[in-house]
Chains A and B, each alone.
Chain A
Amino acid sequence: MFYVLPRFNYYRPNSLDEVLKLINELENYKILAGGTDLLIDMRIKRYTPRNIVDINRINELQYIREDNEYIRIGSLTRLQDIIESNIIREKLPLLYNAVYNMASWQIRNRATIGGNLCNASPAADTAPPLMVYNAKLVVSSINGSREISILDFFKGPRETDLRNNELLVEIKIPKPHIHGYSYRKIGRRNAFTLSIVAIATYVEIENNIFRDVRIALNSVAPKPVRAWSVEEYLKNKRIDREEIYKASELVVKDISPISDVRASADYRRKLSIILIRETLFEASKITG
């Protein structure tokens, strides 16, 4: 054995109620969903939780449902089930594209959407699409449930708004209006790679005017971010090549990239500008 996992007590509750009771009582615990982040973090001793609460038996957290207002995804839904869902492919194409480009088949068969969000990596790939869809996160504890906008959920690298006794149970996405969209993920290679920058761009257009513009990026700040400055600049303007060029430069106000093993800060800044342009062109169906 090259890497040995630290010792822990293992709990395998059978219902959501049991999970909530357990995490209310236990100190120093970690939830185990797909384990594709957690087990590696434990191996490198970033985390050494005394207790592991395995939620894989909680089938009630695995679903993709649609009602009049929302598309609802259970937190334990596997990434592979997300890309195999017609609801997601047809109604939430940005999420479909993002998840399609995540990790590998083997990982997507285990990794969950809840794990990707709660791990709160600045490079989390489900974040940009969910941020442009203004998703809400439903979290529960023994005291009840509350909703957090995904725009307030991430606090910094590996930090979220979750309280110690709370579990993420559902991702609730308001059904989007008719919109144009474009997604790009740039990594060090084409497949099976973490993003240097990933971007989700969403536009609502009426009479050649941007009625709504929403853009989110990951890996360019301590947490995934919206490009508010670009969005504000373009809202209610006519679709115009020059304006898109001007707007794209504004993204540097919204991001604060660092240099790391994947790319330099400067490269990320330049890439962000170019990707904003390209995705806006594609989303509004004009050629650059």
Chain B
Amino acid sequence: MKVRFILNNREVEVDVDPREILLDTLRYRFGLKSVKRGCERGECGTCTVLINDKPVYSCMVLTVQVEGQRITTVEGLVNDDLFKKIIVSFAEKGAIQCGFCTPGFILTAYALYRIKDKPSIEDILKALEGNLCRCTGYKKIVDALTSIRS
């Protein structure tokens, strides 16, 4: 089945079986390896992508469902100012260890800062509920994100 959508600001078309999930399409057809395969059941957050600017788990979306939608991964944000601010804060605060959860956290944080430029700590914790990190213990991630509140 043919599916057309906007991927990182570029119009793309793929021909997929209806059972293919967005996570596999992004990794295998487009080589977007920032989109990590974790639990594959919506519990870890490392496969987070943005659909029309909202964070969702790409393991729980069929590729045929994104017809006409706008998908964003970190590869599509490398020239974005807000994105740069967030990754610099992660680096400066040591909010990264193994890095496996990082793209997911960055995208969720990016989505949050797009709708709120001065989120409260509670807003930040609430937004990040669905991204698990098994190394840093969240403290440094939250430190990074509070450091950039304008």
Chain A contributes a number of interface residues (CB within 8 A of B) equal to 30
Q: Which residue of A lies closest to B20 (CB)?
A: A5
Interface string of A1-14 (1 = CB under 8 A from B): 11111111110100
Instruction: Assess A3 versus B19: contact at CB under 8 Å? Given A39-B60, A106-B55, A109-B54.
Output: no
Per the 8 Å Cβ criterion, residues 109-145 of B in contact with A are 125-127, 129-131
Asked if B129 and A192 make an inter-chain contact with CB atoms under 8 angstroms apart, the answer reads yes
Contact of A35 among B54, B62, B108 (CB under 8 A): B62
Interface string of A48-91 (1 = CB under 8 A from B): 00001010100000000000000000000000100000000000
Chain A residues proximal to chain B, CB less than 8 Å: 1-10, 12, 32, 35-36, 39-40, 43, 52, 54, 56, 80, 103-107, 109-110, 191-192
List chain B residues, Cβ under 8 A from A9. 18
Within the complex, the shortest CB–CB distance from B37 to chain A, in Å, comes to 7
Interface string of B57-87 (1 = CB under 8 A from A): 1001110110000000000000000000000
Instruction: Assess A109 versus B55: contact at CB under 8 Å? Given A35-B60, A35-B62, A104-B129.
Output: yes
The distance in angstroms between the C-alpha atoms of A106 and B42, with both chains bound, is: 9
Chain B contributes a number of interface residues (CB within 8 A of A) equal to 29
Is B103 in the interface zone, CB < 8 Å from A?
A: no
Asked if A7 and B61 make an inter-chain contact with CB atoms under 8 angstroms apart, the answer reads no
Instruction: Assess A43 versus B41: contact at CB under 8 Å? Given A1-B24, A191-B129, A192-B129.
Output: yes
Asked if A56 and B65 make an inter-chain contact with CB atoms under 8 angstroms apart, the answer reads yes
Q: Which 5 A-B pairs have the closest CB atoms?
A: A104-B130, A10-B18, A5-B19, A191-B129, A106-B130
Please classify the interface of chain A as helix (H, G, I), strand (E, B), loop, or mixed, using the class held by over half of its residues.
Answer: loop
List chain A residues, Cβ under 8 A from B15. none
Q: A106-B57, A191-B125 are in contact. List 9 more A-B contacts (CB 8 A).
A: A4-B19, A35-B62, A54-B62, A104-B129, A104-B130, A105-B108, A106-B55, A106-B108, A107-B42
Q: Which residue of B lies closest to A108 (CB)?
A: B130
List 6 interface pairs A-B (beta carbons < 8 Å), by A numbering.
Answer: A35-B65, A106-B42, A106-B130, A107-B42, A110-B61, A191-B125
List chain B residues, Cβ under 8 A from A110. 56, 60-61
Within the complex, the shortest CB–CB distance from B18 to chain A, in Å, comes to 4
The distance in angstroms between the C-alpha atoms of A180 and B134, with both chains bound, is: 41
Is B48 in the interface zone, CB < 8 Å from A?
A: yes
Most A CB contacts (10 A, CB to CB) among B1, B19, B37, B41 go to B19
Within the complex, the shortest CB–CB distance from B81 to chain A, in Å, comes to 23
Per the 8 Å Cβ criterion, residues 26-57 of B in contact with A are 37, 40-42, 45, 48, 51, 54-57
List chain A residues, Cβ under 8 A from B61. 35, 110
Within the complex, the shortest CB–CB distance from B119 to chain A, in Å, comes to 12
